[in-house]
Structure 1
């Protein structure tokens, strides 16, 4: 299993390339809920998402290992695609990204803008097949969205940075850390970093109920694969199945909270309003898990939330704002 040392090594690799994103809080939200909630704003990261960390770390690690990289390929619904395209451009390596046709248009356009070749596929299954075929070519390396140890290590540097910065601010420990779960890379890395620095802290994931393959997998004790790509506002969590690597870490979590679509829209609206940030629904849904965790806590908690991204296209924004939830003040 990976350790805190692996996260630290990843952080050293990528530090010259990424932003040390700020930790934000909302006094009003803390008043509403009665606890201290700290947001690691990865929506302000390179490419607008935490995925830049995993993409950069994996490519830099491959170069460290002495590989002759002719091209990198990836399959992604958006943020990972941008991350690989951006990281490859930083190192002067050609990239090809396979994306389903229903991908967020803003994410697809941004991927191409970073210089990658974008290949559209009928669905996620076709994208998965094509990227597997491409990696068989000499000098071509596949950087998967989550099921790779160096991707996990890169993603874990967000929580690592946040906890160290909170300590520098005089907050010696946190009681719980939260991140969304799509394929499991973000929450796996968050688990490693958090347990390494704050062993007593809880680590909890949020997943869309409409695409709850991870929760099903944990209940069954084996990886469950969805029959088709889920229809959810949380487009960063539309994976069909978690990976073998990430599943090992999901089994160590202190909770996996399934979040329904109205709750995802609710928290996307409220976090955008309170933090004055462009927040993806995938990262906003994590606040529903926070709310449920805090519901029975009598002592004030220090909670860390990894806000994983901020790339939302117009179509998704319209769906999020079909109903106005700002009249419903957050409470426990």
Structure 2
């Protein structure tokens, strides 16, 4: 089956958004490398516009609409937070009105930021009601619904983060890790890696309690969660992956699950070691790295995508309720 997004699409996206997004840095922790005996590189997309990699895909999707559609009267999105901010920010950049649907349980800091970018925000209880609205929007000329992951332009935009990361590394990585919500970031990572680091493993990571992508891969078909997740990794509580991203997720070299306790453990440790404000969904991937490195017999170079850094005070209190730093991360 031919893929709907290829590497040339990522290159086109990179050129299109170059004036709007930041080329984020790579970070390392010498202490962590010494403890583990491997080199870990962290791509700090938490320092990106809107505090997350989502700015890349949101910007490219909105810019593409402005460039290619005959009329763009309003854009819409549904999001747990980071995609909401990205679309709201990009819509303001290109002077397009935006309406964003967010669950009532959304992080307070993500809600306020989305409003601050100028979007009209609608809070909802029932996701099915939003699905009806999405269908109606897509039937109205000049009105466009932008998926947080199941959109070709979004995937192409997200993939630019991996292109940058591989170019910034001193050597070709042995493995690349990223969290999985709907799979847009991972899809873009897979496309970029197959071109720039064809021998590198691309590995997706989910919470044990929000494992819809893992379940779908196991079943060979898209399999939603039975009930909404309350994982502490709020950025990846996706109920169901998309048909576009599923085609890429099926081709990952591995897919790993992480417990809630280990998500908190690595969030504390990475915030402490890197001195960065890192979301739980970002830090979660480090436990998959830890699991993977336990299986390796020689030193490896690994890239971890830190997907975002938008955390409110309530989440910070929850993360740091118990001290996890007494257990040093050694293999």
- TM-score, L = length of structure 1: 0.97
1:268-307 alignment, distance < 5 Å: 268-307=267-306
Q: Distance in 2 between matches of 1:126 and 1:314?
A: 30
Determine helix, strand or coil for the equivalent of 1:267. helix
1:1-332 alignment, distance < 5 Å: 1=3, 2-166=5-169, 171-332=170-331
Q: Do the aligned residues in 2 keep the contact of 1:101 with 1:123 (CA within 8 Å)?
A: no
Q: Do the aligned residues in 2 keep the contact of 1:124 with 1:229 (CA within 8 Å)?
A: no
Q: Distance in 2 between matches of 1:42 and 1:61?
A: 22
Root-mean-square deviation (CA, aligned residues, Å) is: 1.1
Q: C-alpha displacement at 1:202, in angstroms?
A: 0.2
Question: How big is each residue's C-alpha offset from its partner over 1:252-272, in whole Å with a ceiling of 9 and x where there is no partner?
Answer: 000110111001000100000
Q: C-alpha displacement at 1:126, in angstroms?
A: 3.1
Q: Do the aligned residues in 1 keep the contact of 2:66 with 2:94 (CA within 8 Å)?
A: no
Q: Distance in 1 between matches of 2:237 and 2:132?
A: 17
Deviates more, 1:118-127 or 1:80-89: 118-127
Q: Do the aligned residues in 2 keep the contact of 1:98 with 1:130 (CA within 8 Å)?
A: no
Q: C-alpha displacement at 1:129, in angstroms?
A: 3.2
Q: Distance in 1 between matches of 2:167 and 2:239?
A: 34
Determine helix, strand or coil for the equivalent of 1:128. helix
Q: C-alpha displacement at 1:300, in angstroms?
A: 1.1
Q: Do the aligned residues in 2 keep the contact of 1:264 with 1:285 (CA within 8 Å)?
A: yes
Q: Do the aligned residues in 2 keep the contact of 1:77 with 1:235 (CA within 8 Å)?
A: yes
Determine helix, strand or coil for the equivalent of 2:40. strand
Change (3 A) 1:67 1:331: farther
Q: C-alpha displacement at 1:52, in angstroms?
A: 0.3
Q: Distance in 2 between matches of 1:217 and 1:22?
A: 33
Q: Do the aligned residues in 1 keep the contact of 2:177 with 2:202 (CA within 8 Å)?
A: yes
Q: Distance in 1 between matches of 2:24 and 2:297?
A: 31
Q: Distance in 2 between matches of 1:82 and 1:131?
A: 18
Change (3 A) 1:63 1:273: same
